[in-house]
Structure 1
Amino acid sequence: MNHVTVVICNYNYERYLAAAIDSALAQDYPATHVMVIDDGSTDGSRPIIEKYGTLISPIFKKNGGQVSAYNLAIEVLETEYVIFLDSDDVLYRSAVSEVMRCFMERDWAKVQFRLDVMNAAGALTGAYVPHSEPPHDCRKLLLDGWLYPSPPASGNAYRVSALRRVFPVPEEGVNRYGADFYAIYGVALSGPIATVPKSLGGYRVHNAGSATVSFANSEQMTRAPKAFNKRWTILRTIVRDRLQMELPPAFHDFSHEKAFFCSNIYHATFLTRWHWMLRDSGRYLHAIVANPFWGLKKKLGTLALSSLCLVPYSPLSDFVVRYIANPLARRRVAGR
């Protein structure tokens, strides 16, 4: 039986850490190992980790950020398969069994699966991510600059040998965080990916209100685009040097472009909204119209929704922005 390691990278998440560890230990796949890397937490995380004794492999390190934790894990891993579980997320009991069934069918570089969205208290919201399924071979799309639909960090299982073609990555500056960016997109350049078409875990969203615009945990809506651009530049260098492939200078991704859309349109005046849509929406519209992962119905629907931001009634425009940005707003409407 092939062995798998669930690596939990933690920093000051004592409130959620035990649930993450318990979910990893409860896997019905017998050859599952659990490693917890604590990135210099200053809260009560260490006693929680220590109470598990030999059930887990703990590593306590100086604080260096998520990328440093990934770099260390990938260096010391002794299994060929790994899931990086965020310390505020959980895996369902059959998660490892499901992904290993896929890995045994073909030489996948990565197997991804959906995550159910939870609120801060761990209650399911009815939403899940992602909503689109990529093709098995994303290499050509990435070489053309298209980021493929992927779940957040906890929804990905990797072949470690594929990760080692990309990692280690630089740890300083913007690269303290966003390690999953390099894992998700770098690994897809080294081999095909598979998708399990059902939810195998829970993704905790701390700002999970349907009335908010931001849906990301790790970075603010206005900061994420800048970070993504810098990470893409770093990934280009890594891919050129280690994989002998050339990524384009810019990338295309609806999630990235909608951050600009939301930050410029939300709570904006009528004239400001028109100005942005007429002069600065080119990349946003391209990410919709030319999106290789969307069907015609979804493209037309998103364009129609976006056009409602041009009406004079500001509350409608703000509702549209929330609906596009935050899947939880869609669940609220569907539940009425």
Structure 2
Amino acid sequence: MQNVTIVICNYNYGRFLAKAIDSALEQDYPATQVLVIDDGSTDGSREIIESYGGRVKALYKQNGGQVSAYNDAVNMLETEFVILLDSDDLLYGHAVSNVMRVFESGNFVKVQFRLDVIDPAGKPSGTYVPHSAAPSDCGSPLRQGWLYPSPPASGNAYRTSALKKIFPVPEADINRYGADFYAIYGVALLGAVATIPESLGAYRVHRTENSGIDFANSESNDKAPKALTKRWAILRQMARARLGIELPLSFHDFSLEKAHFCSAVYQAPFTKRWRWVSRQSHSYFRSIVGNPFWSYKKKIGTLALSSLCLLPFSALSDFAVRYIANPLARRRF
């Protein structure tokens, strides 16, 4: 039986931290170790971690951001397999066992799985992420600039030897967060990715303002495009320097394009919606029509919903935007 480490990266999430640690310690896979990286919390998180005594290994560091925490975590890893769990998320008790069965069935660099979406109080939303499955060969479309469907950070298990070829990631003021971006997409350049088509954990969503068009914890719709663009540029530099892989200058990602779509047409006047579709929507529709991971049915459905923003009825247009942008908004209909 091979050892696995669950790394929990935490910053001021003391109100959720114990549940995350408990979910890691309660795994039914005996060879599971737990490492907590506390990134300079000031909310009492340290006392919570220390209450577990020798059941967990811990690193208390000065605040440096998520990239810094991931760098330290990967550097400390002594097991060949790892799950990087956010401290506000949860793993179900059979997660590691299921992941390891897949790792043992093939030479995968990453195994990903669905996460049920829960609200800040832990109440299930009735939906999960991601909604599209990734192919085993994610590297080929990635080399063409297509970001493949992946769960958030907590829904990914990695082969440590692959992660160590990607990390450490440069730590800069503009690159403090989004460390999972480099793990998720960098590792896929090194080998096959497997997908488990069931939920093995829970992803906690905190931000649901703007009537439900936001579906992210770290960045709003106006900040996400800029952040992703910077991360892609850094990943390109790393891939060239460390792996000898040349990635394209730009990338394609529906999540990015729908952020532009939401910002442009949600609660916008009829004329503004038409103007955006006629002049600025090329990349958005390309991310749908050319998407190598989507079925024809999903493409047609998304195009049909998107076209509702061209109707003069603002309520119908806003409904379509909410439905496309945020799975949490769908449960009300």
TM-score by length of 2: 0.99
Match of 2:92 in 1: 92
CA RMSD of aligned residues (A): 0.9
What is the match of residue 164 of structure 1?
Answer: 164
Q: Distance in 2 between matches of 1:313 and 1:104?
A: 54
- Distance in 2 separating the partners of 1:268 and 1:330: 21
Q: Is the 8 A contact 1:182 1:235 kept in 2?
A: yes
Q: Name the residue aligned to 1:22.
A: 22
Alignment of 1:29-108 (within 5 A): 29-108=29-108
The CA deviation at 1:210 is 9.5
Q: After alignment, is 310-319 or 143-152 more displaced?
A: 310-319
In structure 2, what is the Cα distance between the partners aligned to 1:256 and 1:31? 38
- CA drift of 1:145 comes to 0.4
Q: Distance in 2 between matches of 1:100 and 1:34?
A: 16
How far the C-alpha of 1:213 sits from its partner, in A, is 0.7
- Displacement of 1:332: 2.1
Deviation at 1:106, TM superposition (A): 0.8
Q: Distance in 2 between matches of 1:130 and 1:247?
A: 24
User: Residue 3 of structure 1 aligns with which residue?
Assistant: 3
Which runs of structure 2 are paired with 1:118-137 in the superposition (5 Å)?
118-137=118-137
CA distances 1:111-149 after superposition (whole Å, capped 9, x unpaired) = 000000000000111000001111101111001000000
Determine the C-alpha separation between the residues in 1 that align with 2:118 and 2:198: 16
What's 1:300 paired with? 300
- The question of 1:193 aligning with 2:196 is answered no
Letter in 2 for 1:119: D
Q: CA deviation at 1:315?
A: 1.5
Deviates more, 1:267-276 or 1:204-213: 204-213
Q: In the alignment, residue 191 of structure 1 is paired with which amino acid?
A: G
Q: Residues 103 and 282 (structure 1 numbering): CA distance in 2 closer, same or farther, change over 3 Å?
A: same
1:267 aligned residue: 267
8 Å contact kept, 1:239–1:246: yes
Aligned residue runs from structure 1 range 140-179, under 5 A: 140-179=140-179
The 8 Å contact of residues 210 and 332 in structure 1, kept in 2 or not, is answered as no
Of stretches 204-213 and 314-323 in structure 1, the one that deviates more from structure 2 is: 204-213
- Aligned to 1:82, the other structure's residue is in SS state strand
- The DSSP-based 3-state class of the residue aligned with 1:288 is helix
Instruction: State the partner residue of 2:226.
Output: 226
SS of equivalent to 1:211: helix
Distance 1:55 1:297 in 2: 48
Check the 8 A contact 1:119/1:204 in 2, yes or no.
yes
Q: What is the percent sequence identity of the aligned residues?
A: 66
Distance 1:271 1:56 in 2: 58
Q: Which amino acid aligns with 2:136?
A: H
User: Structure 2: how far apart are the matches of 1:61 and 1:220?
Assistant: 27
Inter-partner Cα distance in structure 2 for 1:10 and 1:298: 36
TM-score by length of 1: 0.98
Q: For the residues of structure 1 that align with 2:332 and 2:188, how far apart are their CA atoms?
A: 34
Contact 1:113 1:197 in 2 (8 A): yes
Per the alignment, residue 286 of structure 1 pairs with: 286
> In 2 relative to 1, CA 183–131 (structure 1 residues): closer, same or farther, beyond 3 Å?
same
Bigger mean CA offset, 167-176 vs 114-123: 167-176
8 A Cα contact 1:67 1:176, kept in partner: yes
Distance in 2 (CA, whole Å) between partners of 1:66 and 1:123 is: 26
Distance change (3 Å), C-alpha of 1:202 and 1:209 = farther
Q: CA deviation at 1:243?
A: 0.7
Is there any run of 5+ residues in structure 1 with no aligned partner, and where? none
Which whole-Å CA distance do the structure 2 matches of 1:15 and 1:153 have between them? Answer: 19
Secondary structure of residue in 2 paired with 1:111: strand
- The one-letter code of the counterpart of 2:39 is D
User: Is 1:202 equivalent to 2:219 in the alignment?
Assistant: no
Q: Secondary structure at 1:231's aligned position in 2?
A: helix
- The letter for the 1-side match of 2:18 is A
CA contact (8 A) 2:213 2:329 kept: no
Unaligned stretches of 5+ in structure 2?
A: none
Partner SS for 1:164: helix
**Counterpart residue number, 1:109:** 109
Deviation at 1:208, TM superposition (A): 4.3
After the TM superposition, which of the residue ranges 107-116 and 316-325 deviates more from structure 2? 316-325
Describe the superposition over 1:271-324 as per-residue Cα deviations: whole angstroms up to 9, x where unpaired.
111000000000000000011111111111111110100111112111111111
Farther-moved stretch of structure 1 (266-275 vs 178-187): 266-275
Aligned to 1:313: 313
